[in-house]
Each structure stands twice: as C-alpha cells, then as structure tokens.
Amino acid sequence: MRPVPGAAAADRGEGPRHAGGRRAAELNAPLLAGATTPVALVVGLATWGFSAGLLATPMNAQAVEVEHRYGRPLMSSFHACFSRGVLGAACSAPSPWPGA
C-alpha cells in the first residue's frame, strides 16, 4: 500500500498539492509576520507547518527526478540546503515582541 501523499502525487501529479501548499504559505506570511501575541504566533507557525507539509511531497518528487537525470545521489544536499534556508530565515527575523 502506498502512502496517501505519494499515491495522490503519482495519480494526479504534484501540481495541485504544490499549488495548495504555495498558496497556504503565501496567505500565511502576513499572519506570521504580524503576529503580536503568542496565540497568533502559534496559529501562524501551525499554518506554516501545514503548508510545508503540503509542499514536501512535490518538492521531493522533483528532487528525485533531478537526481535520476543527474545520475548520482543529491537528495541529502537538497534537504540540507532547504533546512539551512529555513534556519537562516528564522535566525534573521526580528522578534515580534519589543525587548525580547
């Protein structure tokens, strides 16, 4: 039995999941950036996690395709670069609370 996200991507392609995850991330950006309370921050981070989950399968499917065309393992590099980008963005963002 195939996992549900992988089966959906194989049956319908990765376009719909990618579009949904991208839209969720785009709509969430102002909410997350404007979070002035801990509740708003938690809601924004939960939405970010949801959109990242929607994007994970299509991104990995694209990476596998590139890896097959390139002819050698590349997935660990893709994951490392994505993680460094997210960590760098998180570390460079200002705190939403003054004095924190």
Residue 64 lies in a domain: yes
Q: How confident is the model at residue 4 (pLDDT cuts 50, 70, 90)?
A: low
Number of structural domains found in the chain? 1
Residue 52 lies in a domain: yes
Residue 54 lies in a domain: yes
Residue 57 lies in a domain: yes
What pLDDT score was predicted for residue 13?
Answer: 62
d(CA 23, CA 42): 19
Q: How far is C-alpha 47 from the geometric centre of its chain's CA atoms?
A: 10
Could you give the dihedral angle defined by the CA atoms of residues 72, 86, 55 and 3, in that order, rounded to the nearest 10 degrees?
A: 70
Residue 73 lies in a domain: yes
d(CA 9, CA 77): 22
What pLDDT score was predicted for residue 69?
Answer: 92
pLDDT digits (tens, 9 = 90+) for 5-57: 555 555 556 666 667 777 888 888 888 888 888 898 898 889 888 888 888 87
